[in-house]
Structure 1
Amino acid sequence: MRALRYVLLAGLLGAAVTAQAAPVTYTMDPGHTYVLFSWNHFGYSNPTASLSLGEGTIVFDDKDPSKSSVNVTLPLANLDTHVSKLDEHLKKADFFDAEKYPDITFKSTKVEAAGGNKFKVTGDLTVHGVTKPVVLDATLNKSGLHPMMKVPAVGFDATAMIKRSDFGVGAYVPNVSDEIQVHITTEASVPKTEATK
């Protein structure tokens, strides 16, 4: 009987430890992370540009999303509109002023569950030296052991709408739209050295 009590106690302790598992830290994969943004040009077209990842970390706790976080750096050197002259123009002082402000950063301040695999990620977005709060509508695409890398991994998509004039990048508004649609997709994994500990 005493042995049975020990087994039950050990089971309860194990369940408690599992329920309080620590958040997992994932490193974002630059080869599978893209930030796409689009705008309206004089009502005629909706061009799209992309920024690739400099570095990024996702801390994710599926049991308690409030313990999750995101921290991302996007170098403007990686800006790609598919038009080289436009790339050069957007990096100049009347837009991003990339020489003075070489990076765009996002650092979350709050993560909330929004039902199912949806989350609201509030954070500080810094563009052109200006920091403003932004909310990302994020969707967990998948989590689990990555079939190729054999380490824990997660994948997310996220969207947001921002006003570029809020960040001091308001040239040609309203002919070139103030509203910028943002779409992010990313894969992130536990570094192999951490996964094998």
Structure 2
Amino acid sequence: MRAMKVLALAALLGASFAAQAAPVTYKLDPAHTMVLFSWNHFGFSNPTANLGISAGTLVYDEANPAKSSVEVTLPLANLDTHVSALDEHLKKPDFFDADKYPVVTFKSTRVEPLGNNKFKVTGDLTVHGVTKAVVLDATLNKAGMQPMLKVPAVGFDATGTIKRSDFGVGAYVPNVSDEVQIRITTEAEAGKAK
């Protein structure tokens, strides 16, 4: 009888550990996600725009972070520089050509854990109909229960640099910088707790 109790306890502990180690799928929260990009304008200023997201999924595997992934869609309709004339200009054919290419997408292909909640995330970025591999330096800010929504949540920041001419968006280079700095901050939540 005692052996049965020990086996049952071991099975419960094993099931509990397996449940904790399972990857969790989170939905990125558009209200708490900013995808900022900045560039240099003739050496005088460094404007910044926010793309935001319309949809995004993050799978985070705490036990094996290399199995994590992220996929996002960023509609150019959400582009916001805080200057409406610039928003419209960036959507024109000499830049994003938003009528022809209305979204930017990113899909990770590799996540490399670096320790101390740091990761290198490699993925396919598609802009202006061109797909190129890019690398983002990501940091896990926090994983835990979101206190207001009462659901599991994670938060990440990430940075990277791309050359816009690689994506066919090279108008006014080099006076307007080819290099674009990217800074992302996001929160993501899992399904509601039962």
- TM above 0.5, yes or no, is yes
**2:67 matches 1:56:** no
Provide the alpha-carbon RMSD of the alignment: 1.3
Q: How many residues align?
A: 192
Q: Percent identity?
A: 71
Instruction: Show structure 2 runs of 5+ residues with no match.
Output: none
Residue in 2 aligned with 1:75? Answer: 75
Match of 1:114, SS?
Answer: strand
Q: Distance in 2 between matches of 1:151 and 1:102?
A: 32
CA contact (8 A) 1:19 1:63 kept: no
> Structure 1 stretch 89-98 or stretch 13-22: which is displaced more?
13-22
Q: Distance in 1 between matches of 2:78 and 2:34?
A: 11
Q: Distance in 2 between matches of 1:169 and 1:13?
A: 57
Residue in 1 aligned with 2:7? Answer: 9
CA contact (8 A) 2:153 2:187 kept: yes
Cα deviation 1:33-86 (Å, max 9, x = unaligned): 000110011111111111111100110011101221101000000001111111
- Which segments of structure 1 move beyond 6 Å, counting only runs of 4 or more? none
Q: Which amino acid aligns with 1:31?
A: A
Q: Distance in 2 between matches of 1:168 and 1:44?
A: 24
TM-score calculated relative to the size of structure 1: 0.93
Residue in 2 aligned with 1:176? Answer: 176
Q: Distance in 2 between matches of 1:169 and 1:148?
A: 41
How many angstroms does 1:15 deviate by?
4.2
Instruction: Show structure 1 runs of 5+ residues with no match.
Output: none
CA contact (8 A) 1:160 1:183 kept: yes
Residue in 2 aligned with 1:113? Answer: 113
CA contact (8 A) 2:22 2:63 kept: no
TM-score calculated relative to the size of structure 2: 0.94
Q: Distance in 1 between matches of 2:12 and 2:137?
A: 34
